[in-house]
Structure 1
């Protein structure tokens, strides 16, 4: 079985065979947990989209278990459905029309790690992965006849980063042991020294080797020879995804076809006023002196989170925001975000990491900022800023009307 693909994507035969074997297992036994790993630029994301589509299209009239597929994304640098810096579990119910175009979706559960690599804090990163796996197991699982939890009705796809050496390798092994996949798809590139070890590298001698290991080659033969170009592309993609995310501040049916129209929309869009007394601020991966907290927070991207009742749990992230300005005299933060107000009401924690505002967006937001005019909308105070729009032209062309 093969899902329809975009015309510019080449799917090798061994990829199709690998996907068919996983889909076949999913229809004859419990839904699979597929862990996809390999070095940078090996095609993990494309393969995961291809597998996702085929799992969704494998539904038949007698078995509707796969009407939804769970997608656990551990790649904080190039996530599939969220902005950079997030680890997430997303439930997908429809196939992707184009394997080349990522799309933003609201995750089932999300944690803001605040960086594009796990190297600053591997333990917190692994804690996030474990929490997402637990959410999949406890919340999305059904119960068997004796009342004990059994495997989820929904297949799970686990997408991983391309850091497979040193600490990255150790994290990958820990994730494999934590998640306990039924299938592991290992993608190899032409440069053998960059690949993961052969075989079930994460298993000890006395471990159960019942997992189905599938080794395939990258569709790109020159994948690692393009390392410098790939790094540049990665930075560009991250910036575009952030621009696409914050463009969601506007209604999806809004007719934005020119730069002037987009500039007008931005100029009219009201940031939220957030009383500093109502929230806590947490800096991730570093310590900031109390005297520098507000200075470091201004003009940054923050995770909008909800403090857990259980002190041992991680704060759940409901979205990202841009701190547009700070009024120290009034103890107010000005935050712009596409997160609905009904969800924002539960936010009581701002998480600041190292996710930077794209340069073009930064120039727009802070080039021609005037004194805000405060308005009252119910109990929520908002402000309007006058903006210029020179740097939005490239974003408009690359992102399009539908992020």
Structure 2
């Protein structure tokens, strides 16, 4: 039985995986330790869905933490966020490296907004408002240069994880975000299917605008590599797991949950919080209420 072809094919995949792993590691090292990266880098990672953006972000975060001790992480992918349930836009400040880059974690954000959808199509302007607010908050609280010798108050780098929807409304949100943030680095993750990729160059700039001082880096998508970093994500399954993990925190540790039905049964079994009516005080703000209407208003409010 001739197995030479199979062995050769397997060896080719392993070589490609090793090459891609080296490519990713070289890029994150350049971003983190380039002597020109002061102030600390603001890095936007862009590319189509299932290309490995989240995996690359995890590797980049670990490398930046090793140098700066703290790293900001702005997650604007409401469909498949890294550290929160779906539907959230969030800002995190990370201080510990992930020990296992293939495990997805829930983390408490420094600040977040509930967008309420897994897609920007219904209200892209609201999503952009949330993104801009979180970025402004990061600049105010974590990108300070007044005390560069104080590690607790010095500026920290920022990694921005973007959505894999790079056409139509998704492309509009991405370009508006890049214009507003003006990152120091844009990592463009590309697949072998060219029509799925983002345009080359500073695609978010207007035709007659001067090119900003920015580092544009293109890397290959993570198909089959790097294997120890890549988490294959089926969108719906990942969202379900995120939601279950989030609400699981409200239930006893020994309560077994394997599906949404188990989660629902768990919440039904919880005794609701009870409060006597006599303990409730209603305070009316901004307007006066006639005394004869107060009882009616109080009853309707409750």
Structure 2-normalised TM-score?
0.74
- Name 1:245's counterpart in structure 2: 246
Whether the aligned pair in 2 keeps the contact of 1:91 and 1:107 (CA below 8 Å) is yes
Kept in 2: contact 1:137–1:152 (CA 8 A):
no
Decide whether the 8 Å contact of 1:184 with 1:213 is kept in 2.
yes
Shift of 1:140: 1.9
In the alignment, which residue of structure 1 is the partner of 2:29?
A: 20
Distance 2:101 2:178 in 1: 26
Cα distance in structure 1, aligned partners of 2:197 and 2:41? 24
Once residues 274 and 24 of structure 2 are traced to their aligned partners in structure 1, the CA distance between those partners, rounded to angstroms, is 50
* Structure 1 residue 52 corresponds to structure 2 residue 72: no
Corresponding residue SS for 2:98: coil
The equivalences for 1:390-401 within 5 A come to none
Which of 198, 203, 222 is residue 196 of structure 1 equivalent to? 198
Aligned match for 2:223, one of 220, 223, 228: 220
Q: Is the 8 A contact 2:85 2:239 kept in 1?
A: yes
- 1:40-65 deviations in Å (ceiling 9; x for gaps): 1111000001100111123xxxxxxx
- Aligned residue among 104, 124, 133 for 2:135: 133
| CA-based RMSD | 3.4
- Contact between 1:31 and 1:152, CA under 8 Å: does it hold in 2? no
1:139 Cα deviation from its structure 2 partner: 1.9
1:272-330 residue CA offsets vs partner (Å, 9 max, x unmatched): 4699x98xxxxxxxxxxxxxxxxxxxxxxxxxxxxxxxxxxxxxxxxxxxxxxxxxx98
Within the candidate set 45, 53, 68, 1:36 is matched to 45
Q: How far apart, CA to CA, are the structure 2 residues paired with 1:256 and 1:46?
A: 31
Q: Which has the higher relative contact order, 1 or 2, with Cα contacts under 8 A spaced 6 or more apart?
A: 2
Question: CA–CA distance in 1 between the matches of 2:56 and 2:215?
Answer: 17
Aligned to 1:363: none
How many angstroms does 1:206 deviate by?
Answer: 2.9
Alpha-carbon contact 1:199-1:213 (below 8 Å) kept: yes
Q: CA deviation at 1:141?
A: 2.9
| SS of corresponding position for 2:101 | coil
Contact 1:136 1:152 in 2 (8 A): no
* Separation in 1, partners of 2:190, 2:43: 17
Give the structure with higher Rg (CA): 2
Number of positions where the alignment pairs a residue of Structure 1 with one of Structure 2: 252
Structure 1 position 84 matched with structure 2 position 86: yes
- Show the counterpart of 1:181: 183
**What SS is found at the alignment partner of 1:118?**
coil
Task: State whether residues 181 and 211 of structure 1, in contact with CA within 8 Å, keep that contact through their aligned partners in structure 2.
Answer: yes
| Structure 2 unaligned regions, length at least 5 | 1-16, 148-152, 226-231, 283-298
SS at match of 1:173: helix
Counterpart for residue 94 of structure 1:
96
Q: Which structure is higher in helix share?
A: 2
Shift of 1:37: 0.3
Q: What secondary structure is seen at the aligned counterpart in 2 of 1:55?
A: helix
Question: SS of the counterpart of 1:70?
Answer: strand
TM-score, normalization: structure 1? 0.56
Instruction: Name the counterpart of 1:297.
Output: none
Matched residue SS, 2:188:
strand
- Answer whether contact 2:248 2:263 (CA < 8 A) is retained: no
